[in-house]
Amino acid sequence: MPLSHSLVALLVTAIWGLSFVVIKLGVGTMPPLLLAALRFLFAALPAVFFVAKPKTDWRIVVAYGFFLGIAQFGLLFAAISLGMPASLASVVMQAQVFFTILFAALVMGERPGPHQVIGGIVASSGLVLIAWPRMTGGGAVPFLMTVLAAAAWGVANIVSKRAGRVDMLSFIVWSSLVAPLPLFGLSLWLDGPAQVFDALKHIDGNTVAAVAYLAYPTTIFAFGIWAYLLSRHPAATVTPFALFVPVAGILGSALILGEAMHPIEAIGGAVIVLGLAFNVFGRRLLRRAA
C-alpha cells in the first residue's frame, strides 16, 4: 500500500479513537440510539442533495447502511450508555480486524496467512481475559454488545468491498440514509417518546458538537476513506491499521474522561494489541525465522 494511503489510514484511526470519547460524552446527555440516529441523519443531510447516487447495486448500499449504522453503532452506542468504558470499547472493537479477515476468507476467498491466524488466536485470548470477570456481573451485556458491534463492522467492511471501485463519498452519504429512521424508531420504543422528545427539546451545544464530530469527520471522512482503501487493497492489508484506534481511544479517555483500566482489562487490552501487531508484522517475523 502506498505511503500516502498508509498515512491517511493512520489519520482515520486517530479520528475513530477519539470518537469513543465523544460517544461517551454524547450518551451522557442523550439516549444512545437517538444520538446514533442524529449522527447518520446529519451525515446524509444535506449532502445527499448534492452527491450523486453511487454506481453500485442499491442492495449493497442498504446492506452497508444497515450493518454499519444500525447494527454496529446502534450496539456500540447502547453498550457505552450501559456502562462500557470508552477506553475498553476502543480496544474490543478492534476485533473487527479478525472478523473482517474471517468473513473475507469465507465469502471472498481471501485466505489468511499463518501470521493472521496466530494474531487472531492471540487477540481472542485477550478478549477472553477481558470478558472473564465481566461474565459474572453487570458488565457482561455491554461487553457482548461491543463484540457484536465489532462483528457487524467486519460485515460492513466486506459489503464495502463488494461495492467495488465506486465513489466512496456518495456511497457513505447515501448509505447513511438507511440508519436514521430505524434508529429513531428503536429509540422511541426503548426509551419512550417522552424521553426522546425531551432530549431533542433540551439539546445543548456539547451535544450538537458531539453529533457534528460523529457525523462529519468520523462518518463522512473516515468511513469514506476506509471504504476507499478497502476497495483498492486486500482487507488483510487495510484493517490492521485499526491497531492505532485503541491507542488514541485510551489516551483520549484518560486525558478527557479520566478513565483508567483495571489491571486485568489492561492486560487483556495489551494482548489484543499484541495480536493486532502480529497480524501487521508477523509475516516479516515468520520469514526471518524461516
Mean pLDDT of the chain: 86
- What does the pLDDT read at residue 135? 64
CA 132 to each of CA 46, 51, 76, 111, 126: distance values in angstroms, whole numbers, following the listed order? 45, 47, 20, 31, 10
Per-residue pLDDT reduced to its tens digit, 170-199: 898 999 999 999 999 999 999 999 999 999
How far is residue 52 from each of residues 41, 46, 216, measured CA to CA in Å? 17, 12, 18
C-alpha cell of 65?
Answer: 447502511
pLDDT digits (tens, 9 = 90+) for 132-168: 766 666 678 898 999 999 999 999 989 988 887 788 8
Distance CA 260, CA 280 (A): 27
Residue 43 grid coordinates: 451525515
- Per-residue burial over 124-144, b if 16 or more Cβ lie within 10 Å, else e, is eebbebbbeebeeeebeebbb
Pick from 102, 153, 152: nearest CA to 123 = 102
Q: What is the pLDDT of residue 241?
A: 77
Q: For cell 498515512, what's the residue?
A: 7
